[in-house]
Structure 1
Amino acid sequence: MTTIDTTTLDTPAGPLSVLVGPDGAIRAAGFTAAPESLLPLVHPSLRGTLRPYAGLGPVTAAVNAYLDGELTAIDEVPVTQHSDGVFLTHAWTVLRDVKPGDPITYTRYAALAGRPAAVRAAAAACARNAAALFVPCHRVLRTDGTLGGYRYGLEVKRWLLGHERRLTAS
Protein backbone atom coordinates (compact mmCIF):
# COMPACT_ATOMS: atom_id res chain seq x y z
CA MET A 1 0.00 0.00 0.00
CA THR A 2 1.16 3.56 -0.70
CA THR A 3 2.59 5.60 2.13
CA ILE A 4 1.40 9.19 2.43
CA ASP A 5 3.56 11.54 4.47
CA THR A 6 1.71 14.02 6.61
CA THR A 7 2.57 17.00 8.73
CA THR A 8 0.63 19.72 10.50
CA LEU A 9 1.94 23.28 10.29
CA ASP A 10 1.03 26.16 12.56
CA THR A 11 -0.44 29.11 10.65
CA PRO A 12 -2.21 32.32 11.73
CA ALA A 13 -5.39 30.81 10.26
CA GLY A 14 -5.02 27.68 12.40
CA PRO A 15 -3.31 24.32 11.99
CA LEU A 16 -2.78 23.26 8.36
CA SER A 17 -2.45 19.52 7.81
CA VAL A 18 -0.92 18.35 4.55
CA LEU A 19 -0.86 14.89 2.98
CA VAL A 20 1.85 14.27 0.38
CA GLY A 21 2.19 11.22 -1.86
CA PRO A 22 5.44 9.43 -2.66
CA ASP A 23 5.85 11.62 -5.77
CA GLY A 24 5.93 14.78 -3.63
CA ALA A 25 2.51 15.97 -4.81
CA ILE A 26 -0.19 17.16 -2.43
CA ARG A 27 -2.96 14.60 -2.03
CA ALA A 28 -4.90 16.69 0.50
CA ALA A 29 -4.52 19.76 2.67
CA GLY A 30 -6.83 21.43 5.12
CA PHE A 31 -7.05 23.67 8.14
CA THR A 32 -7.33 20.96 10.76
CA ALA A 33 -5.05 19.47 13.39
CA ALA A 34 -6.27 15.98 12.41
CA PRO A 35 -4.58 14.90 9.16
CA GLU A 36 -6.48 11.60 9.21
CA SER A 37 -9.72 13.58 8.73
CA LEU A 38 -8.46 14.57 5.26
CA LEU A 39 -8.01 11.03 3.95
CA PRO A 40 -11.72 10.51 3.10
CA LEU A 41 -11.46 13.58 0.81
CA VAL A 42 -8.79 11.85 -1.28
CA HIS A 43 -9.93 9.81 -4.28
CA PRO A 44 -9.79 6.09 -3.34
CA SER A 45 -7.13 5.44 -5.99
CA LEU A 46 -4.80 7.93 -4.25
CA ARG A 47 -5.26 6.84 -0.64
CA GLY A 48 -2.67 5.11 1.46
CA THR A 49 -1.28 4.65 4.93
CA LEU A 50 -0.52 7.91 6.71
CA ARG A 51 2.96 8.40 8.12
CA PRO A 52 3.62 11.43 10.33
CA TYR A 53 6.64 13.36 9.07
CA ALA A 54 8.15 16.37 10.81
CA GLY A 55 8.72 18.46 7.70
CA LEU A 56 7.81 18.01 4.08
CA GLY A 57 10.71 19.92 2.54
CA PRO A 58 9.52 21.97 -0.44
CA VAL A 59 5.89 21.82 0.70
CA THR A 60 6.69 23.21 4.15
CA ALA A 61 8.97 25.83 2.58
CA ALA A 62 6.20 26.90 0.17
CA VAL A 63 3.63 27.28 2.96
CA ASN A 64 6.08 29.29 5.07
CA ALA A 65 6.94 31.51 2.07
CA TYR A 66 3.21 32.05 1.41
CA LEU A 67 2.67 33.04 5.04
CA ASP A 68 5.70 35.35 4.87
CA GLY A 69 4.22 37.19 1.88
CA GLU A 70 5.35 35.29 -1.21
CA LEU A 71 1.80 34.44 -2.22
CA THR A 72 2.72 32.57 -5.40
CA ALA A 73 5.03 30.13 -3.58
CA ILE A 74 2.19 27.60 -3.27
CA ASP A 75 1.61 27.69 -7.04
CA GLU A 76 4.76 25.65 -7.68
CA VAL A 77 3.77 22.77 -5.38
CA PRO A 78 2.39 19.87 -7.42
CA VAL A 79 -1.10 18.65 -6.58
CA THR A 80 -2.66 15.33 -7.54
CA GLN A 81 -6.44 15.07 -7.32
CA HIS A 82 -8.69 12.70 -9.20
CA SER A 83 -12.39 12.67 -9.73
CA ASP A 84 -14.71 10.27 -11.47
CA GLY A 85 -15.89 13.24 -13.53
CA VAL A 86 -13.85 15.17 -16.08
CA PHE A 87 -15.28 18.57 -15.12
CA LEU A 88 -14.09 18.46 -11.51
CA THR A 89 -10.51 17.63 -12.42
CA HIS A 90 -10.47 20.39 -15.03
CA ALA A 91 -12.13 22.87 -12.65
CA TRP A 92 -9.47 22.21 -9.99
CA THR A 93 -6.75 22.92 -12.55
CA VAL A 94 -8.45 26.18 -13.53
CA LEU A 95 -8.77 27.18 -9.88
CA ARG A 96 -4.99 27.08 -9.48
CA ASP A 97 -4.81 29.99 -11.97
CA VAL A 98 -6.94 32.32 -9.83
CA LYS A 99 -4.54 34.98 -8.59
CA PRO A 100 -4.15 35.94 -4.93
CA GLY A 101 -5.82 39.21 -4.02
CA ASP A 102 -8.19 38.96 -6.99
CA PRO A 103 -11.05 36.64 -5.96
CA ILE A 104 -13.67 35.63 -8.50
CA THR A 105 -17.33 34.70 -8.27
CA TYR A 106 -18.74 31.21 -8.75
CA THR A 107 -20.25 32.51 -12.02
CA ARG A 108 -16.86 33.67 -13.27
CA TYR A 109 -15.28 30.42 -12.11
CA ALA A 110 -17.83 28.38 -14.10
CA ALA A 111 -17.06 30.47 -17.20
CA LEU A 112 -13.30 30.06 -16.75
CA ALA A 113 -13.83 26.31 -16.44
CA GLY A 114 -15.58 26.35 -19.83
CA ARG A 115 -19.15 25.82 -18.60
CA PRO A 116 -20.68 29.25 -17.93
CA ALA A 117 -24.11 27.82 -17.11
CA ALA A 118 -22.67 25.30 -14.63
CA VAL A 119 -22.45 27.57 -11.60
CA ARG A 120 -23.59 24.81 -9.24
CA ALA A 121 -20.99 22.43 -10.69
CA ALA A 122 -18.33 25.09 -10.09
CA ALA A 123 -19.50 25.42 -6.48
CA ALA A 124 -19.38 21.62 -6.16
CA ALA A 125 -15.79 21.65 -7.43
CA CYS A 126 -14.89 24.01 -4.58
CA ALA A 127 -16.79 21.89 -2.06
CA ARG A 128 -15.06 18.68 -3.20
CA ASN A 129 -11.56 20.17 -3.38
CA ALA A 130 -9.26 18.10 -1.16
CA ALA A 131 -6.21 20.37 -1.47
CA ALA A 132 -7.23 23.59 0.28
CA LEU A 133 -4.74 26.46 0.03
CA PHE A 134 -2.84 24.78 -2.85
CA VAL A 135 -6.02 24.66 -4.97
CA PRO A 136 -7.32 28.00 -3.70
CA CYS A 137 -11.07 27.53 -3.43
CA HIS A 138 -11.00 30.28 -0.78
CA ARG A 139 -10.62 32.74 -3.71
CA VAL A 140 -14.15 32.06 -4.98
CA LEU A 141 -17.01 34.23 -3.70
CA ARG A 142 -20.76 34.42 -4.16
CA THR A 143 -22.05 36.65 -6.94
CA ASP A 144 -22.88 39.38 -4.41
CA GLY A 145 -19.28 39.34 -3.14
CA THR A 146 -20.02 37.60 0.16
CA LEU A 147 -17.85 34.75 1.35
CA GLY A 148 -20.20 31.83 0.86
CA GLY A 149 -19.08 28.59 2.45
CA TYR A 150 -15.70 27.10 3.25
CA ARG A 151 -15.02 23.62 4.61
CA TYR A 152 -12.72 25.01 7.30
CA GLY A 153 -14.93 27.90 8.37
CA LEU A 154 -15.51 31.44 7.24
CA GLU A 155 -12.92 32.83 9.70
CA VAL A 156 -10.19 30.86 7.92
CA LYS A 157 -11.45 31.99 4.50
CA ARG A 158 -11.63 35.59 5.73
CA TRP A 159 -8.06 35.41 7.06
CA LEU A 160 -6.68 33.93 3.81
CA LEU A 161 -8.42 36.54 1.64
CA GLY A 162 -7.33 39.35 3.97
CA HIS A 163 -3.73 38.11 3.98
CA GLU A 164 -3.67 38.05 0.18
CA ARG A 165 -5.48 41.38 -0.16
CA ARG A 166 -3.06 43.14 2.23
CA LEU A 167 -0.04 41.90 0.34
CA THR A 168 -1.32 42.58 -3.17
CA ALA A 169 -2.62 46.04 -2.30
CA SER A 170 0.82 47.40 -1.49
Structure 2
Amino acid sequence: MIGSRSTLDTPFGPFTAVVDADGVVLAAGWTTDPDVRLLPLIHASLAPDEVVERADLGAVTAAVRSWLAGDPAPAAAVPVRQHGGVFLQELWARMRDIPAGSPVAYAELATLAGRPLAARTAGQACQTNAIGLFVPDHRVRRNDGSLGGYRWGVEVKAKLLETEANWP
Protein backbone atom coordinates (compact mmCIF):
# COMPACT_ATOMS: atom_id res chain seq x y z
CA MET A 1 0.00 0.00 0.00
CA ILE A 2 1.19 3.50 -0.80
CA GLY A 3 0.52 6.21 1.75
CA SER A 4 0.90 9.96 1.51
CA ARG A 5 2.10 12.78 3.67
CA SER A 6 1.85 16.51 3.57
CA THR A 7 3.27 19.31 5.69
CA LEU A 8 1.62 22.66 6.36
CA ASP A 9 3.17 25.67 8.01
CA THR A 10 1.27 26.64 11.16
CA PRO A 11 1.81 29.19 13.94
CA PHE A 12 2.94 26.23 16.08
CA GLY A 13 5.52 24.96 13.59
CA PRO A 14 5.32 22.63 10.60
CA PHE A 15 2.44 20.16 10.91
CA THR A 16 2.68 16.87 9.02
CA ALA A 17 0.00 14.23 8.51
CA VAL A 18 0.55 10.74 7.14
CA VAL A 19 -2.43 8.96 5.59
CA ASP A 20 -3.05 5.52 4.12
CA ALA A 21 -4.29 4.90 0.58
CA ASP A 22 -7.87 5.60 1.70
CA GLY A 23 -6.98 8.96 3.29
CA VAL A 24 -7.21 7.65 6.88
CA VAL A 25 -4.75 9.45 9.17
CA LEU A 26 -2.12 7.11 10.62
CA ALA A 27 0.17 9.69 12.24
CA ALA A 28 0.24 13.46 12.61
CA GLY A 29 2.12 16.10 14.55
CA TRP A 30 4.35 19.13 14.69
CA THR A 31 7.71 18.12 13.32
CA THR A 32 10.31 19.11 10.78
CA ASP A 33 11.46 15.48 10.48
CA PRO A 34 8.47 13.20 9.81
CA ASP A 35 10.70 10.30 8.73
CA VAL A 36 12.15 10.16 12.23
CA ARG A 37 9.32 11.57 14.38
CA LEU A 38 6.14 10.28 12.65
CA LEU A 39 6.67 7.23 10.49
CA PRO A 40 8.07 5.11 13.37
CA LEU A 41 4.86 5.77 15.33
CA ILE A 42 2.80 3.81 12.79
CA HIS A 43 2.39 0.19 13.86
CA ALA A 44 3.80 -2.32 11.36
CA SER A 45 0.34 -3.76 10.76
CA LEU A 46 -0.87 -0.35 9.53
CA ALA A 47 2.27 1.05 7.92
CA PRO A 48 2.26 1.82 4.20
CA ASP A 49 4.99 0.16 2.13
CA GLU A 50 5.88 3.56 0.74
CA VAL A 51 4.94 7.14 1.66
CA VAL A 52 4.90 9.82 -1.02
CA GLU A 53 4.92 13.56 -0.46
CA ARG A 54 1.82 15.43 -1.63
CA ALA A 55 1.00 19.12 -1.51
CA ASP A 56 -2.53 18.46 -0.29
CA LEU A 57 -4.29 15.55 1.43
CA GLY A 58 -7.83 16.67 0.58
CA ALA A 59 -10.15 16.46 3.59
CA VAL A 60 -7.21 16.08 5.99
CA THR A 61 -5.52 19.28 4.81
CA ALA A 62 -8.87 21.08 4.78
CA ALA A 63 -9.51 19.95 8.37
CA VAL A 64 -6.16 21.33 9.54
CA ARG A 65 -6.87 24.64 7.81
CA SER A 66 -10.34 24.74 9.41
CA TRP A 67 -8.83 24.09 12.84
CA LEU A 68 -6.32 26.90 12.28
CA ALA A 69 -9.25 29.18 11.37
CA GLY A 70 -11.04 28.33 14.64
CA ASP A 71 -13.30 25.47 13.57
CA PRO A 72 -12.27 22.17 15.20
CA ALA A 73 -15.25 20.13 13.92
CA PRO A 74 -13.68 18.89 10.65
CA ALA A 75 -10.57 17.62 12.49
CA ALA A 76 -12.79 15.64 14.87
CA ALA A 77 -14.52 14.01 11.90
CA VAL A 78 -11.44 12.96 9.91
CA PRO A 79 -11.03 9.17 9.98
CA VAL A 80 -8.03 7.95 11.98
CA ARG A 81 -6.49 4.57 12.69
CA GLN A 82 -3.86 3.52 15.19
CA HIS A 83 -2.91 0.25 16.80
CA GLY A 84 -3.88 -0.43 20.41
CA GLY A 85 -6.04 -2.53 22.67
CA VAL A 86 -9.76 -2.06 23.20
CA PHE A 87 -9.40 0.35 26.12
CA LEU A 88 -6.75 2.48 24.39
CA GLN A 89 -9.05 2.70 21.38
CA GLU A 90 -11.87 3.86 23.68
CA LEU A 91 -9.64 6.48 25.31
CA TRP A 92 -8.53 7.81 21.92
CA ALA A 93 -12.18 7.95 20.81
CA ARG A 94 -13.15 9.88 23.96
CA MET A 95 -10.29 12.35 23.35
CA ARG A 96 -11.96 13.18 20.06
CA ASP A 97 -15.12 14.11 22.00
CA ILE A 98 -13.39 16.63 24.29
CA PRO A 99 -14.58 20.08 23.22
CA ALA A 100 -11.93 22.58 22.18
CA GLY A 101 -11.31 25.03 25.00
CA SER A 102 -12.45 22.55 27.68
CA PRO A 103 -9.46 20.39 28.63
CA VAL A 104 -9.96 17.48 31.01
CA ALA A 105 -7.73 15.67 33.51
CA TYR A 106 -6.49 12.11 33.04
CA ALA A 107 -9.01 10.91 35.65
CA GLU A 108 -11.85 12.66 33.80
CA LEU A 109 -10.79 11.05 30.53
CA ALA A 110 -10.72 7.63 32.21
CA THR A 111 -14.24 8.26 33.54
CA LEU A 112 -15.46 9.31 30.09
CA ALA A 113 -14.09 6.00 28.79
CA GLY A 114 -15.99 4.05 31.46
CA ARG A 115 -13.12 3.19 33.82
CA PRO A 116 -12.80 5.93 36.44
CA LEU A 117 -9.87 4.26 38.21
CA ALA A 118 -7.75 4.08 35.05
CA ALA A 119 -6.18 7.55 35.09
CA ARG A 120 -2.71 6.07 34.52
CA THR A 121 -3.93 4.28 31.41
CA ALA A 122 -5.45 7.56 30.22
CA GLY A 123 -1.99 9.08 30.57
CA GLN A 124 -0.56 6.16 28.60
CA ALA A 125 -3.12 6.78 25.84
CA CYS A 126 -1.91 10.37 25.58
CA GLN A 127 1.74 9.30 25.61
CA THR A 128 1.25 6.71 22.85
CA ASN A 129 -1.14 8.71 20.69
CA ALA A 130 0.37 8.93 17.20
CA ILE A 131 -2.26 11.25 15.74
CA GLY A 132 -1.86 14.73 17.19
CA LEU A 133 -4.61 17.29 16.53
CA PHE A 134 -7.02 14.70 15.10
CA VAL A 135 -6.89 12.76 18.39
CA PRO A 136 -6.43 15.85 20.56
CA ASP A 137 -4.36 14.59 23.47
CA HIS A 138 -3.28 18.19 24.01
CA ARG A 139 -6.70 18.65 25.65
CA VAL A 140 -5.77 16.29 28.49
CA ARG A 141 -3.91 17.56 31.56
CA ARG A 142 -2.53 16.03 34.71
CA ASN A 143 -4.98 15.54 37.54
CA ASP A 144 -3.43 18.50 39.41
CA GLY A 145 -4.30 20.79 36.46
CA SER A 146 -0.73 21.17 35.17
CA LEU A 147 -0.06 20.55 31.50
CA GLY A 148 1.93 17.33 31.79
CA GLY A 149 4.01 16.19 28.83
CA TYR A 150 3.34 16.37 25.14
CA ARG A 151 5.09 14.53 22.31
CA TRP A 152 5.44 17.78 20.35
CA GLY A 153 6.62 19.87 23.31
CA VAL A 154 4.88 21.42 26.28
CA GLU A 155 5.23 24.85 24.67
CA VAL A 156 3.20 23.67 21.66
CA LYS A 157 0.60 22.13 23.99
CA ALA A 158 0.26 25.40 25.91
CA LYS A 159 -0.14 27.38 22.68
CA LEU A 160 -2.75 24.94 21.31
CA LEU A 161 -4.78 25.17 24.52
CA GLU A 162 -4.48 28.97 24.61
CA THR A 163 -5.60 29.19 20.97
CA GLU A 164 -8.64 26.98 21.59
CA ALA A 165 -9.55 28.85 24.79
CA ASN A 166 -9.74 32.09 22.77
CA TRP A 167 -12.12 30.77 20.12
CA PRO A 168 -15.68 32.07 20.33
One-letter amino acid matched to 1:43? H
> What's the counterpart of residue 2 of structure 2?
3
The alpha-carbon deviation at position 94 of structure 1 amounts to 1.2
Secondary structure of the 1:69 match is coil
Q: Superposition pairs for residues 48-63 of structure 1, below 5 Å?
A: 48=48, 49-63=50-64
Paired positions, count: 166
Residue 47 of structure 1 is matched in structure 2 by 47
Distance in 2, Cα, partners of 1:88 & 1:143: 19
In 2: Cα distance, 1:111 partner to 1:119 partner: 8
Tell me which stretches of 4 or more aligned residues in structure 1 moved more than 6 Å: none
Equivalent positions of 1:84-95 (< 5 A) are 85-95=85-95
1:60-79 residue pairs with structure 2 within 5 A? 60-79=61-80
In the alignment, structure 2 segments of 5+ residues that lack a partner are none
Q: CA RMSD in A?
A: 1.0
Matches within 5 A, 1:123-138: 123-138=123-138
Give the letter aligned to residue 30 of structure 1: G
TM-score relative to the length of structure 2: 0.95
Mapping 1:11-160, distance limit 5 Å: 11-37=10-36, 38-48=38-48, 49-83=50-84, 85-160=85-160
Deviation of 1:73 (Å): 2.2
Unaligned runs of 5+ in 1: none
How far residue 31 of structure 1 moved from its aligned partner, in angstroms, is: 0.6
Question: One-letter code of the match for 2:95?
Answer: L
Q: Give % identity.
A: 49
Letter aligned with residue 130 of structure 2: A
